[in-house]
Amino acid sequence: MTTLQLLIVDDHPVFRQGLRDVFDTDPQIRVVGEAKDGEGALLMTQQLQPDVVLMDINLPSMSGLQVTRKIKADSPNTKVVMITGYDEPEHIFHSLRTGASAFCSKDMPPEDLISTVHAVFSGNFVINGKILTEEELNEWIQRRMDRYGRRAADKGTDSHISLSPREMEILELICQGASNKDIAQRLGISYQTVKNHVTAILQKLGVNDRTQAVLYALNHGWFALGNAV
């Protein structure tokens, strides 16, 4: 019987313990370590070479997206399962484009989380409980590029001129996968101010949501996805 080696990365010790308790119920999974931040995750991944890393998307100092990109560059055989309390479409898109094999909500049933870890260990991809092959994942990503990015690109290339420097700053952070709460903390402004800026950005770009805004910005080359995350 092959034992799957798992590394847990989350900045909340109580939640980490809860995850460990969940995976301890499965004899085929062994939790080999825990990390509370991105730097620790990178160091432990290098030392332990786990099969799967369960990664919180919101970490102090370095986002889960940044950590995932570095892990996949240095340890390409390690699978990453992204887990978050923010179930926002652009987080799913960025997570998968960055190299994660799965995207899960923190409120999913424990048995589904265990199944997700086994699925990615077997070479599959999982989006909110749905198991996909690599071909199906690529089709999923392409459909969203077709639906959002290209449609927005047809509106022209000069819309960014109307965005203020602050709005461009916020849009770049959105492209990095930051939530409104994260942006407020990083910029030292209120949550409501961020929401107001996001609303203005969507109106000026002529898009309906944050995902469309991200894909619009990427398609116009305002920010490079590889550098952003």
pLDDT digits (tens, 9 = 90+) for 37-95: 999 999 999 999 999 999 998 887 777 888 898 899 899 999 999 998 866 676 787 78
pLDDT for 153: 47
| 142 alpha-carbon distance from chain centroid | 17
Residue with tokens 């499965």: 26
98, 38: one domain: yes
Domain of residue 125: give its range. Answer: 4-136
Could you tell me if residue 141 is inside a domain? no
pLDDT tier, 226 (very low <50, low <70, confident <90, very high otherwise): very low
pLDDT for 84: 86
Amino acid at 1: M
Q: How many domains does the chain have?
A: 2
Could you tell me if residue 149 is inside a domain? no
Residue with tokens 């199906």: 136
* pLDDT (mean) for 83-111: 85
Could you tell me if residue 129 is inside a domain? yes
Residue-wise pLDDT tens digits, 160-186: 456 787 888 899 889 888 889 989 998
Could you tell me if residue 64 is inside a domain? yes
Q: Quick one: which H or E segment has residue 171?
A: helix 165-175
pLDDT tier, 4 (very low <50, low <70, confident <90, very high otherwise): very high
Could you tell me if residue 145 is inside a domain? no
116, 59: one domain: yes
pLDDT tier, 217 (very low <50, low <70, confident <90, very high otherwise): confident
Of 67, 101, 136, the domain-final residue: 136
Could you tell me if residue 146 is inside a domain? no
124, 190: one domain: no
pLDDT for 159: 45
Q: Is the pLDDT of residue 25 over 70?
A: yes
53, 130: one domain: yes
